[in-house]
């Protein structure tokens, strides 16, 4: 009887952790905007600082990402990390997924989007192309980067990229 209960518990845990199309799927990005829900469709079950290169390749088909109709999906990985004394730390995430960046292939205006209260606004920039951005981020690691001004290729308010990063939340809070 005890063995049957243990087997049933293991089966329930396995079912609860299946891929996005499976039962019990949990989205770590609950604030995805309508029309921009990429986690369940393309990224699950990837998690920054947890997913390995092998998992990323399994989900995206390559460690270089993939393209879909209208979008480029690109994973970034954590580089070598060392502590002050030169040794890797106990929570070393070297080689694991750092974040996933999704960029639109065509301009998408976000001027009429009202970001929910879960998002905070900050200012960012991309020095390589000398562009200022309005960045809307939540505590779960989701960021929407919008062009702050007109540029050579995009207009103010156009979506530059969406980042699915590590949660900034403290567990238990």
Chain centroid to CA 164: how far?
2
pLDDT the model gives residue 25 = 60
pLDDT of 9 over the 90 cut: no
Structure tokens at 102: 């999704």
Would 13 be classed as within a structural domain?
A: no
Would 113 be classed as within a structural domain?
A: yes
Q: Which of 110, 101, 100 is nearest to 147 (CA)?
A: 110
Query: What is the span of the domain harbouring residue 100?
Result: 20-164
Would 2 be classed as within a structural domain?
A: no
CA dihedral 45, 51, 54, 55 (to 10 degrees): 0
Backbone angles phi and psi of 133, in degrees to 5: -135, 150
Would 65 be classed as within a structural domain?
A: yes
- Residue 163 banded pLDDT, cuts 50, 70, 90: very high
pLDDT the model gives residue 113 = 95
Cα gap 151→167, rounded to integer Å = 31
Structure tokens at 9: 């518990």
Would 4 be classed as within a structural domain?
A: no
pLDDT of 172 over the 60 cut: no
Would 71 be classed as within a structural domain?
A: yes
Average pLDDT over the chain, rounded to an integer: 83
167 or 87, which is more confident: 167
- Residue 171 banded pLDDT, cuts 50, 70, 90: very low
Please, what's the b/e burial string for 52-87 (b: 16 or more CB within 10 A of its CB; e: otherwise)?
eeeebeebbeeeebeeeeebebbbebbeeeeeeeee
pLDDT of 63 over the 50 cut: yes
Q: Are 98 and 76 in contact (CB under 8 A)?
A: yes
Domain count for the chain: 1
The fraction of the chain above a pLDDT of 70, given in percent, is 76
The fraction of the chain above a pLDDT of 90, given in percent, is 65
pLDDT 10s digits, 117-159: 999 999 998 877 789 999 999 999 999 999 999 988 899 999 9
pLDDT 10s digits, 22-56: 444 689 999 999 999 999 999 999 999 999 999 99
pLDDT of 18 over the 50 cut: no
Would 75 be classed as within a structural domain?
A: yes
Identify the residue whose tokens are 């770590």: 28
Q: Are 166 and 91 in contact (CB under 8 A)?
A: no
Mean pLDDT, rounded, for 67-75: 96
pLDDT of 13 over the 50 cut: no
Q: Are 161 and 135 in contact (CB under 8 A)?
A: no
Would 171 be classed as within a structural domain?
A: no
């Amino acid at each position: 009887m005890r063995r049957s209960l243990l087997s049933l518990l293991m089966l329930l845990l396995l079912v609860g952790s299946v891929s996005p199309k499976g039962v019990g799927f949990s989205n770590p990005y609950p604030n995805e905007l309508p029309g921009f829900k990429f986690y369940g469709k393309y990224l699950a079950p990837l998690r920054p600082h947890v997913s390995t290169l092998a998992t990323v390749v399994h989900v995206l088909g390559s460690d270089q990402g993939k393209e879909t109709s209208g979008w480029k999906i690109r994973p970034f990985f954590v580089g070598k990390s060392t502590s002050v004394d030169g040794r890797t730390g106990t929570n070393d995430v070297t080689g694991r997924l750092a974040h996933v960046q999704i960029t639109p292939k065509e301009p998408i205006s976000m001027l009429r989007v009202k970001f929910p209260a879960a998002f905070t606004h900050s200012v960012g920039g991309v020095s390589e192309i000398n562009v200022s951005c309005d960045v809307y981020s939540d505590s779960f690691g989701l960021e929407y980067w919008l062009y702050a001004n007109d540029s050579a290729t995009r207009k103010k308010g156009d979506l530059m990229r969406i980042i699915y990063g590590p949660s900034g939340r403290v567990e238990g809070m």
